[in-house]
Amino acid sequence: MMRTRQWAIVLGIYIVAGLVGAVALWWLTHALTPIFRPLKGANLWAAVGGSVAFWIGLMALLHRMPASVKKRVAVVVTFVSGLFYVLEFYLPKKSGIFFWRTHHTNPFSPMLDTVGVATLVITGFTLLLATFNLCLVHGKNIAARRTGYYNSVAFYLAFFAMATFGLWQNHAPTSKLFASKVTVAQVYGYLFNSTYVPLGSTLFSVLAFYMATAAFRAFRVRTAEAGFMMVAAFICMMGQVPLGMWLTHTLPLHGPLSHLRMESMANWVLGVFSMAGLRAVTFGIFVGALAMSLRIWLNLERGAFFEQEL
């Protein structure tokens, strides 16, 4: 009885908060929409300077706040942000409930672009934060001369080379490098195609070698299930390559015997057994994701990052 009452109170708080949040959100996004219009010249720099000053001030203020206040701010921001997308997505495009609108349209839909731009800005901040963090970690490695610090030196060299030529070629791609005939875009192209591309490919291709040793050392047919898995793996691996197709190429392309062709069997395994299993797994994942999203949105989640009660 007590628990039911508690849940009713929590639900009531969320309904009231949702209504207040919806009105506040609608007002806020309407008020902020002019900020996201393109600016030029002095207005642009004034806006950039003002934004930087405002955010530094806000961050400094938050920094001085006690942990409980910071958490409350995070909870409110998460709830209001999630609320916007819920209201925009679930409320109808046109309805009589929007009686104050000229065409009775969903008042949140026109703000989708503005909120999208805000999301882009926040993502930009997170990228900057990640870069700063990476530089800090590697900087500490070099300063303390930790084991393998030369890897951190390599990081700095690669980071600054790519960043310098990337930004330079973005700004002036045809400018010449130190009075030579080589353009900045060519240098960047060389760094990208001859360093970045092969390094990335090499890193991924190393997986194939580990997979081969793992297949030899770990794949043991101890049970009937493992036996089925091995048969399925054989059919799928062979059904995707010309060698496997060649093994059954004497069978006709049409008719009942065509189902015994390697590629037909591989497609059957993928399209029947594998698909049924994946449907079940995907369904489970998304039900879990829905529950998890609701828990985070409504601040019910506990555990890593959420362990302390407010």
Partner 1 sequence: MKLDWQFWSRRLIWLALAIATAVFLLVKVHARMYVSRPALDLYRAVEAVPPDKIIVISCNWEMGTYGENGPQTEALIRQCLKLGKRFAIFGWTWPPGPMLGQQIAERLQRPYHRRYGRDWVNWGFNTGGSPMIRGWAKNIPGTIKEDIFHKPIMSYPVMKGVNTARDVGLIIDITPSNTLITWIEFVYGIYRTPIGYACTGVMAPEAFPYYDAHQIVGVLKGLAGAAEYEQLLGYRGDALKRMPAQSSAHALIIALIVLGNVIYLRARRRGQAPGARLTTT
Provide φ and ψ at 105, rounded to 5°. Answer: -90, 160
Residue pair 82/297 in contact by the 8 Å Cβ criterion: yes
Question: Of the candidates 305, 302, 283, which has an alpha carbon nearest to the alpha carbon of residue 292?
Answer: 302
Please return the burial class of 184, using the count of CB atoms within 10 Å of its CB with bins 0-12, 13-18 and 19+: buried
Comparison of 153 and 172: residue with beta carbon closer to partner 1 = 172
Comparison of 22 and 235: residue with beta carbon closer to partner 1 = 235
Comparison of 4 and 202: residue with beta carbon closer to partner 1 = 202
Comparison of 18 and 82: residue with beta carbon closer to partner 1 = 82
Comparison of 68 and 205: residue with beta carbon closer to partner 1 = 205
How far apart, in whole angstroms, are the C-alpha atoms of residue 12 and residue 92?
Answer: 24
C-beta of 299: minimal distance to partner 1 in Å?
21
How far apart, in whole angstroms, are the C-alpha atoms of residue 69 and residue 62?
Answer: 8
C-beta of 65: minimal distance to partner 1 in Å?
28
C-beta of 22: minimal distance to partner 1 in Å?
18
C-beta of 218: minimal distance to partner 1 in Å?
5
Provide φ and ψ at 96, rounded to 5°. Answer: -65, -20
Comparison of 68 and 119: residue with beta carbon closer to partner 1 = 119
Comparison of 15 and 120: residue with beta carbon closer to partner 1 = 120
Q: Give me the numbers of helices (H) and strands (E) for the chain, helices first please.
A: 11, 0
C-beta of 271: minimal distance to partner 1 in Å?
6
How far apart, in whole angstroms, are the C-alpha atoms of residue 25 and residue 216?
Answer: 58
Task: Write the CA distances from 59 to 120, 134, 256, integer angstroms.
Answer: 19, 21, 70
Q: Which residue matches tokens 């934004």? A: 51
Question: Of the candidates 288, 285, 295, 293, which has an alpha carbon nearest to the alpha carbon of residue 85?
Answer: 293
C-beta of 264: minimal distance to partner 1 in Å?
9
C-beta of 198: minimal distance to partner 1 in Å?
8
Q: Which residues of 31-53 are buried (b: 16+ CB within 10 A; e: fewer)?
A: eeeeebeeeeeeeeeeeeeeeee
**Token reading at 51:** 């934004």
Comparison of 92 and 124: residue with beta carbon closer to partner 1 = 124
Q: Which residues bind partner 1 (CB under 8 A)?
A: 85, 112-113, 115-116, 119-120, 123-124, 127, 192-193, 196-201, 203-205, 208-221, 230, 233-234, 237-238, 240-245, 253, 261, 263, 267, 270-271, 274-275, 278-279, 282
C-beta of 267: minimal distance to partner 1 in Å?
6
